Amino acid sequence: MSSETKEFKRILVTGGAGFLGSHLCRRLVREGHDVVCMDNFFTSQKTNVTDLLDKPNFELVRHDVTMPFFIECDQIYNMACPASPVHYQFNPVKTMKTSVLGMMNMLGLAKRVRARILQASTSEVYGDPNITPQPESYWGHVNCTGVRSCYDEGKRCAETLCFDYHRQNQVDVRVIRIFNTYGPGMHPYDGRVVSNFIVQALNGQDITIYGDGSQTRSFCFVDDLVDGIVRFMNQDECIGPVNLGNPHEFTIKQLAERTIQLTGSKSKLINEPLPHDDPKQRRPDITLARELLKWEPKVQLDEGLQKTIDYFAHVDMRTFKKPTQHDAHTNSRVDEKDAKKRKVAK
């Protein structure tokens, strides 16, 4: 099956000025589609899509997905939601609203105009998994009252809404579960492990590892992921959910060491406590994606890291600011203070 779409489409991308959304918009514009990028610029900014602003088939709209939006379109990619713990924990109620109300608004739009809609769900729906790798059939191990719950449970609820709209209203849905993704275009202050490590290494700062660094992640280069997203949207055999990510697993300590080597930095590794509910292991089973989409990641970690390092080495940091002053432990500290109040009978 070809990943290239042949038919011209009018496409809405929510969260289109974010890291993944901006790469997706470039791909769709390059294919010749009429692309409307919607974003409220909480964790993104216009500079992410500056190169697209003069394209006749690209339009940028400032709008919050939690508010109704009306447009004629053929496809909707719902990418809107803060994806970094430091950002989604800053305003957890807003995060939940983005996942739930935003999903309802976009599903309502898809129902009205008979558009196909793809929901960018997440590996976070698996929580701190008891099995590895995680297949789509695994229901997860999630703390519904924890500091990450606003994102985990918000995305789980969004998936539920997708399938209920499909069953009740025959909305044409697609659900993907995205695992850790990295690459050029990441926000230097997004709080994700790859960007944190690279920025710290390039600045000669100590690299901060939460916990002992033995927790694992699987890192997928952004170009590979976008290719999988577009392939899945444009196939007719499956509505999902489908895992998209890199099945090769690395410890956080290994990632830090490779970052130091590739940057030539003299940074040292320092350890801080693990934030609450931080998953110990994350690795996708991509059997379904391989069989259905003939897709798997092509870019190896060293190659992708080098491209990302080159991006950060030349980025003008004056054009970025921190969306919040939150850190990885802010909500965990509050949670610890409230621990006695949350005791339940055993």
CA distance 255 to 329: 21
Question: Would you report the helix, strand and coil content of the chain in percent, each value rounded to 5?
Answer: 40, 15, 45
For tokens 């044409």, name the residue. Answer: 172
For tokens 């899945």, name the residue. Answer: 232
For tokens 């060491």, name the residue. Answer: 257
Q: Choose the catalytic residue: 77, 88, 151, 165.
A: 151
Fill in the amino acid letter for 73. Answer: C
Closest CA to 120 of 94, 158, 63: 158
Which residues, in sequence order, are bridge partners of residue 11? 35, 75
CA distance 346 to 344: 6
CA distance 29 to 48: 14
CA distance 314 to 23: 18
Look up 165 and say whether it is catalytic.
Answer: no
Do 214 and 107 form a contact (C-beta atoms < 8 A)? no
Tokens of 104: 């309802």
Using DSSP's 3-state secondary structure scheme, residue 315 falls into coil
Q: Which residues are catalytic?
A: 151
